[in-house]
Copies of this chain bind each other. A is one copy, B any other.
Amino acid sequence: MNSNPTMRAALQTTVGDPDVLQVVDVPRPEPRPNEILVRVHAASLNPTDWKHRANGGFLGEPPFVLGWDLSGVVEAVGVGVARFRPGDEVIGMLSYPFGHGSHAEYVAAPARDFARKPASLDHVQAAALPLVSLTAWQALVENADVQPGQRVLVHAAAGGVGHVAVQIAKALGAYVIGTASGPKHDFLRELGVDEAIDYREVDFSEEVRDVDVVLDTIGRDTSTRSLRTLRSGGIVVSILPIGRPDFYEEADALGVRAVRMLVDSSRADLASITRLVDDGRLRPTIAETFPLEQIADAHRLGETGRTTGKIVVTMD
């Protein structure tokens, strides 16, 4: 390491379309106390990336480097870190939403945001996991406490969070109903979905009943219509803004529960997820990979909303 090390990073200095992403040299971070420096091998894209790129979102004004999850190798550890050593393969989700920055060759972040990489996955597959699997896990396990035999409705079941949520719900012993466009139904069945709904052909809120848990990755009108599918005491967990101030009152009136959650870093949850992966019960699907230098193309593909599984950028 020379005295002023740099790295490549997808920096943006203004909000806007994918062209605002500039892959440039920036200073390489150094691990502070309780942090590790990770050489990023692969990092995934999530809808939150293109939303923040376009409007700043929780982050406010650029400049910033997006990217919340990653798979890589520990390069150095800061003072007080006893859990990892240089050379360890790790996955992690940086603290959401303010710990962004994985679309770069290195990240320095608190050691507690990381766990060992599942042995059965390469860096591209592993990078696809953290944000979506933590989201699905925290929605289904922590918030909804899914039990064997319960009916779970997963919206956008072929998407990033959706395809992982289906597998986690099945591993929990649930009966899983997934929504997707017709051409994706074969994929849903491969994931283990018990019932596939083509949201373009039918109104799910008319078709589906007696649901215990809805995982709502769409928000707005979908959240509201989901309430009608629930049994008394059922729960809808939304990971996006709901958009109607009377949503919670409506849930109360129907005798159901409604929760809006953001994903949160948790090495304990990552460890649970890794066990599912290494037990062969959870596998991410990769839609496409792009080298970091082509990250703008990766954003363009993501924004079509038509991919199946995850988009990953690689730094090797």
Q: Which residues of B contact A231 (CB under 8 A)?
A: none
State which size class the interface on A falls in.
20 to 34
Copies of this protein, total: 2
Contact partner of A79 among B80, B95, B260, B266, CB < 8 A? B260
Name the prevailing secondary structure of the A interface residues: loop
Q: Does A110 count as interface, using CB distance less than 8 angstroms? A: yes
Q: Does A111 count as interface, using CB distance less than 8 angstroms? A: yes
Contact partner of A33 among B33, B58, B237, CB < 8 A? B58
- Complex Cα–Cα for A260 and B268 (A): 22
Contact partner of A260 among B82, B143, B261, CB < 8 A? B82
- Complex Cα–Cα for A143 and B95 (A): 24
Contact status A262-B80, CB under 8 Å: yes
Q: Which residues of B contact A142 (CB under 8 A)?
A: 82-83
Contact status A266-B112, CB under 8 Å: yes
Q: Does A259 count as interface, using CB distance less than 8 angstroms? A: yes
User: Could you jot down 7 A-B contacts, CB within 8 Å?
Assistant: A32-B98, A33-B58, A83-B142, A110-B264, A112-B264, A112-B265, A268-B268
